[in-house]
Structure 1
């Protein structure tokens, strides 16, 4: 009876290793996109998971997306940049650098910032004056 336990234990361990290996981080396919939570007209990979959103600030609205295989030291993948351009966004190269890019479309601005294991989509809010200025006419 003891001799029959080892094949069973070996088989169970093999199954456990196969399951764990299948759950590991994979490289994104960069083929399926959806609109960002804070700017529906800006694409994010469907494989990315929204982990945080801060929209209480009066100046910015940002969303953080987890994507384990993305690295700050790497360039933003070309398929992603091509998809952003296909959605009509143009990079503002004078404001972009390395893993932080700024895009513009129809007067809207989006900042894309890549970090190790996640990226953020930041949308600055328009600052509109809250006080109307009256002009005073004087007669001389």
Structure 2
């Protein structure tokens, strides 16, 4: 009875199902099950399929990611379009991106929030162009990390840009 159950299990495992065996072939299979000499059915494709399919699947996945990923870095809305700047509260001639939200103001320090800017990327080129167009020139020798100093005549403004926020500090002499 035990051999018969093993035989049925073996038939369902190998997906032979309703295939009928002769009594001699049934005995051979039962003997193989008892002795443990049953040979496993080999994969039709073997290791070759895995070796070929794995890189193909990875390449297809990477291709799909490439299609979904934009090829250029997107700047925050306030930096990306010309005319998207307004005057700061500290100095009417110093522009700030329209998308920037004023968070706090103390004496000569104004804090803005602007999601999307990154300290490690520096000041976006569109913003630098706007600052130059308004007469503000960056002092390259005074730049320190995320802090830049802009001058216009006798006026001086510090711009400290961090991740998702920046500070304007009006220097008084």
Category of TM-score, reference length = shorter chain: 0.5 to 0.7
Alpha-carbon contact 1:92-1:101 (below 8 Å) kept? yes
**Structure 1 stretches of 4+ moved >2 Å:** none
Q: Which runs of 5+ in 1 are unaligned?
A: 1-25, 56-60, 127-140
Equivalent residues, number: 96
Q: Deviations over 1:49-71 (max 9, x none)?
A: 0000011xxxxx01001001111
1:50 aligns with 2:102: yes
The answer to which structure has the higher helix fraction is: 2
Q: Tell me the TM-score normalised to structure 1 length.
A: 0.65
Per-residue CA deviation, residues 24-65 of structure 1 (Å, 9 max, x unaligned), is xx832423111111011101001100000011xxxxx01001
Point out which structure has higher relative CO (alpha carbons under 8 A, 6+ apart): 1
CA RMSD of aligned residues (A): 1.4
Whichever structure has more strand as a proportion of its residues is: 1
- 1:27 aligns to what? 76
2:89 is the counterpart of 1:37: yes
Structure with max Cα Rg = 2
Match of 1:96 in 2: 143
Unaligned runs of 5+ in 2: 1-74
For 2:136 and 2:78, the matched residues in 1 are separated by: 21
TM-score by length of 2: 0.53
Task: Provide the residue aligned with 2:159 in structure 1.
Answer: 112
2:114 corresponds in structure 1 to 67
- Please name the residue that 1:22 is paired with: none
Distance 2:149 2:156 in 1: 7
The Cα shift of 1:81 comes to 0.4
| Residues 34 and 44 in structure 1, CA contact (< 8 A), matched pair in contact too | yes
